[in-house]
Structure 1
Amino acid sequence: MEKIQYLLPWSASGTERTLSVFRFGAGPRKAYIQASLHADELPGMRVAVELKRRLLELEAQGRLNGVIELVPMANPIGIAQMFQATHQGRFEFASGKNFNRDFPELAEAVAPLLKGQLGDDAEANVALIRRALIDTLADMPPPASELDGLRRLLLQHACDADVVLDLHCDFESVMLLYTMPQHWGRLHSLAARLGAKVTLLAEDAGGSAFDEACAVPWLRLTELFPEANIPLACAATTIELRGMADTEREPCTHSAQAILGYLAEQGLISGEWPPAPSSRCEAMPFAGAQYACAPHPGVVSFLQPLGARVKVGDPLFEVHDPLNDRHSIVRACTDGVLYARERLRFAQPGLWLAKVAGFTPIRQGRLLSD
């Protein structure tokens, strides 16, 4: 194992923050895994603890056939953001920006470096593109902030990977994945191994989240160079490891083992591994997800459990205003699966309280919320 450490730029005077990357194995193929980019989403960090332990064992046994890079704490800025004993790891205090938005979009930047060089050899094209991605990131102007520096470092390590796994969670949630529809076939067995209930598919969910910053350039380059043989060489996904409180040892150990089994299936780890189970996961368009909000303030009572299959008109939750006796029931506007709920139980303006994944697109434009 190699431990790589970076000092983030622009730390407050008299302080410094460090990003740590753990590199296991060697070889031409690579997987990149990071956890807790939203620093208060801790199940990924707990899974990373198990991954690190097992990768050390596998490396000692000579069973790694490629490089696996692990970033167990992808956000040293957000991990320190506490406000009155409450962790605030989604948005940077200094700028108000979401830690998982606005990653550099690289396709247009790398295209001039590739003009006239790409041909029919897919393997050669992949090598050229990965070199161009790395060079483009290295040649960017110095980071303008600590957050910009963090984004740059994370993307530099992930941009040349065959597989990118970004470990997150929701407030209260079933296990689910986000990915591009073009990668669903390649990630189907990962969803099965994890026991995911839903996978949400979108080519561009808006906001340039980390997984899309890794995967979308390959898609855009196929459009910019239609004459060249360019495979979609980076299968990237965001994995929602259930809810924020789901850090217990057994499910996190199971998730780590599922990820390792998938990497073995991808040829990065040798030895005997259980086959992927039959999948219960349904792939649905992200545009088909209902974000249900309350019509007025009040205390919230949920009327459906997580994972419930609902029909249009089924009640999701009710809201009681204790001062003026207003009472509302918010219902599903699509058939699908209730996959996430808000942890707060008092309705706020514009705050989603329940998410339902459906097969019929009902939204357009930017799909990700802040």
Structure 2
Amino acid sequence: MRLIHLFTLIGILALSCSPNRESQNTHSTQDRDSSKLFERNNGMVLIPAGTFFMGTDDMESYPVERPAVKREVRSFWMDETEVTNAQFSKFVEETGYVTVAERVPDWEEMKKQLPPDTPKPSDEDMQPGSMVFSPPSKAVPLHDISQWWKWIIGANWKHPEGPGSGIEGKENHPVVHIAYEDAEAYADWAGKRLPTETEWEYAAKAGRERQRYSWGNEFRPSDNFMANTFQGDFPHENLAEDGFEGTAPVKSFEPNDFGLYDMIGNVWEMTSDWYDAIKMQRIAGNAPALDSAISKCYNPHNPYALEKVIKGGSFLCADDYCINYRPSARQGQDFESGTSNIGFRCVRDLE
């Protein structure tokens, strides 16, 4: 991850994940494992073409998700899981690829996304590294995410918590600390691509576009945990009632109705779309089209950075802080950066 996050990440995440208490739903959902209804091939699932409502009209959401708009999607193949450490390791072994978090930051590129006259960091700070979730030992103000996000020199996909950590025994966990160009490089090697935001959300909703979650309207139907999220008092007290404090091995929870695993929780997932904070309003005709000649993306809280849309929430989403564990949830992520809770999966067009 680039050091740009020393300047921008605190403000970005503080605004995109603000304290919010989850409402109690009374609707029940029947468990339906229809994953075998869909064609599979080499770890991918064939997603059928269709129309759906993208976004949401549910007011227990964030403004960037509203309103719901009808969209049409063509059929495509999608990885049934997030890309794992084992899969990414094979890619690196065969290509010798070096991720962004393992490279010395380029100040000339960094300052393009920073306010004018931002001072250059010291040479001591300009070293390869990434942002790592580092929970405090006690309750802290939820508006100050610097209390639990730390820049760790030496943190990367092979060392998720920094020097001394590793991925041995975590081969089936999703790979993290991946920047957008890293994900694109993997996808090209695999003969795939990253999904669009529309494709990702359509696949995550799996025919339940008018329901709150990928599996229905109730967060824990029959008291079952349906995704890897945060239980306890965020960020200092993680009860890990779902069995995981951090990332979980892929396929640890039930698939959705398209047969896809971990579309919600575990790690945020990258899409190929540039982030636009009022995208849904534009599609609905309530705001003018984005002038791409001026900027590729739009985030009034982060006007200098170039961001890609990430979807699905992560193991850090909690009902007392960040309710992004829903298919319509969306936020922007600096395209040159990764964190310890962002990964990806790929798609492939029909031949």
Taking structure 2 as the reference length, the TM-score comes to 0.26
Give the structure with the higher percent strand: 1
Give the structure with the higher percent helix: 1
Q: Which has the larger radius of gyration?
A: 1
Taking structure 1 as the reference length, the TM-score comes to 0.25
